[in-house]
Amino acid sequence: MREADFQQLVDRQYASLFRFALSLSKSGAEAADLTQQTFFLWAAKGHQLRDRTKTKSWLFTTLYREFLSRRRHEVRFPHVELDNANDDDIAVSPNVNALDSTAVVEALRELDEPFRAVVTLFYLEQFSYQEIANMLDVPIGTVMSRLSRGKAQLRRRLLSKEETAARKIVSIAQEKGTGSHG
């Protein structure tokens, strides 16, 4: 691949890949490292991909596999139990517009791991359920199920963040009120 083509590919995809990595990993540094490693792998092995229309999927799939392999070698995580507490869609919707991007990423990171990649790919790049199934190598039904349950979990997490933020505002206001009278 010519240097100019590589640069063009980086310019087109690195921000999205970083955001995907950020939702999966523990820190911004790890996300940057994963993004970097994905492009290095592309530089070394990308020429083996014959269908160039699949470059974007290749990058996201590779990043996800890198993430999984790191997890396997780092801490031996206990088996992830899916949160079955309440899969019903909640009646109250969080006001996402009132939250900043950091809070949304935090909420995504708090999702059970099997939901996280599916939900992030759906939102970030608006990949179809079929594309996500191919990338993560899971059946379409599983993708739909994870989207349905993952989104419900995301709503709950965001709602809880919204409530926490509201409580903070109230307590700050109360502190200020107390201070002005004291």
Whole-angstrom CA distances from 33 to 120, 154, 160, 172, 177 are 18, 26, 30, 38, 46
What does the alpha-carbon distance between residue 71 and residue 60 come to, in Å, rounded to a whole number?
17
Q: Which stretch binds other proteins (CB under 8 A): 52-60, 102-110, 159-167, 169-177?
A: 102-110
* 10 forms part of the interface with other proteins (CB under 8 A): yes
Q: What is the residue whose two structure tokens read 């599983």? A: 142
* 27 forms part of the interface with other proteins (CB under 8 A): no
Q: Which stretch binds other proteins (CB under 8 A): 77-85, 137-145, 159-167, 171-179?
A: 137-145
DSSP state of 94: P
Nearer of residues 36 and 179 to other proteins, judged by Cβ: 36
* 109 forms part of the interface with other proteins (CB under 8 A): no
For residues 32 and 14, the answer to whether their CB atoms sit within 8 Å is no
Segment 71 to 90, residues that bind other proteins, using CB under 8 A: 72-74, 89
